[in-house]
């Protein structure tokens, strides 16, 4: 410590304080979503002043100063932006949306508002508090330590959270669906594809619009696909990916493998390889997932990926992987080569070949 100058010590303190108090930023964002601030600003149609915002939110005017302090932090974080507005010949500060807060508008498509609300559920926040204790325990995850059951068991027993979780996954998939149409070349030349864990078939419907000759099958758990109606080139099959995957030219795994351990991923990938075996070298597995440490990505993107990795560690026995970790999985599952394309922001497209 004696070798460090005063400026270095205070910079070190600032980093510690920044991470120590980072939960305040999360809770401030949660408050903005809960209050509906992005929607209020959007409906206002122009930058909104603090008095106008307080009135629209039906908040006691005595708390105007507190609303200002909340907005000041969220402006600094990049969720809102300020500009000068004229009110009754006086210049005031108005608050407007940024691309990030536009993603929180409830009526927009896509919207990440359900995703943000779900991630702030007490079950998720509470389980992360058990991370240090879990290292000395024998439970599979900190979530098990906190609740005495797995995340998936909790999900099946808590209908309120289950509903939030499903809405969150749909809203997150909405972001993926924005770019799926740009991936037409990935699916061209295929006659059949199995979308493992494809839920309600949103991606299949998008791709099949562009490629009507592609036969798309969604494989998901029976309770997920029950009562869903087939169409001429989109059908639903209930089943367990660890037991059987129907044969096809290609298998799609969108946001699936990061929720499972290496051993479980290898089992699934081996089932995928069996499913495309009839196509020989022309078959492939298409993976949409996070790749940590890609070249030229910025600090915010890397940090978000690392946060996701810790979330997978806390909730389920999964992980976000670096390229070398993905490669190890592919080789152990019997594949020979792969190609990674970084086109999904936090997620990448990985094509894996026998």
Cis before residue 110, ω within 30 degrees of 0?
Answer: yes
The torsion angles phi and psi of 238, rounded to 5 degrees, stand at -90, 135
Contact at 8 Å (CB) between 33 and 104?
yes
Name the CA radius of gyration of the chain, rounded. Answer: 23
Return the structure tokens found at 5: 């100058």
- The 3-state DSSP class for residue 77 equals helix
299 catalytic? Reply is no
Residue 48 DSSP one-character state: B
7/304 Cα distance (integer angstroms): 28
Task: Please pick, among 44, 258, 299, 337, the residue that the annotation labels catalytic.
Answer: 258
Span between the terminal Cα atoms of the chain, in Å: 55
- Secondary structure E strands in the chain: 80-87, 90-97, 192-196, 215-220, 234-238, 250-254, 284-292, 321-322, 337-344, 347-353
Return the structure tokens found at 17: 């304080």
The torsion angles phi and psi of 246, rounded to 5 degrees, stand at -55, 150
Q: Which of 252, 267, 220, 264 is nearest to 239 (CA)?
A: 220
Q: What is the DSSP string of 217-262?
A: EEEE-HHHHTTPPPBTTEEEEE--TTT-----SEEEEES-GGGS-H
Q: Which residues are catalytic?
A: 258
């Amino acid at each position: 410590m004696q070798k460090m100058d005063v400026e270095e010590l205070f910079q070190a303190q600032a980093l510690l304080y920044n991470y120590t108090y980072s939960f305040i930023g999360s809770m401030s964002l949660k408050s903005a979503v809960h209050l509906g601030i992005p929607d209020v600003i959007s409906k206002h149609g122009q930058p909104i002043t603090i008095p106008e915002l307080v009135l629209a939110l039906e908040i006691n005017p005595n708390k105007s100063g507190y609303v200002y302090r909340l907005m000041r932090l969220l402006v600094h974080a990049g969720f809102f932006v300020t500009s000068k507005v004229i009110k009754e010949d006086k210049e005031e500060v108005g608050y407007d949306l940024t691309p990030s807060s536009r993603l929180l508008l409830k009526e927009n498509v896509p919207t990440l508002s359900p995703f943000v609300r779900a991630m702030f559920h007490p079950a998720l926040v509470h389980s992360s508090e058990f991370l240090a204790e879990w290292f000395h325990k024998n439970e599979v995850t900190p979530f098990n330590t906190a609740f005495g059951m797995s995340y998936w068991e909790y999900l099946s027993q808590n209908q309120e959270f289950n509903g939030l979780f499903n809405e969150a996954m749909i809203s997150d998939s909405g972001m993926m669906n924005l770019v799926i149409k740009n991936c037409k070349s990935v699916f061209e030349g295929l006659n059949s594809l199995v979308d493992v864990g494809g839920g309600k078939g949103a991606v299949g419907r998008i791709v099949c619009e562009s490629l009507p000759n592609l036969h798309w099958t969604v494989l998901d758990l029976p309770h997920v696909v029950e009562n869903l109606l087939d169409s001429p080139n989109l059908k639903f099959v209930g089943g367990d990916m660890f037991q059987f995957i129907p044969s096809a030219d290609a298998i799609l795994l969108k946001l699936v493998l990061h929720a499972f351990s290496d051993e479980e991923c290898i089992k699934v990938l081996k089932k995928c390889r069996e499913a495309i075996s009839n196509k020989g070298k022309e078959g492939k597995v298409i993976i949409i997932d996070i790749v940590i440490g890609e070249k030229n990505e910025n600090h915010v993107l890397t940090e978000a990926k690392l946060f996701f990795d810790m979330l997978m560690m806390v909730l389920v026995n999964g992980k976000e992987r670096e390229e070398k970790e993905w490669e190890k999985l592919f080789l152990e599952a019997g594949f020979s080569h792969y190609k990674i394309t970084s086109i999904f922001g936090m997620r990448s497209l990985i094509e894996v070949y026998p």
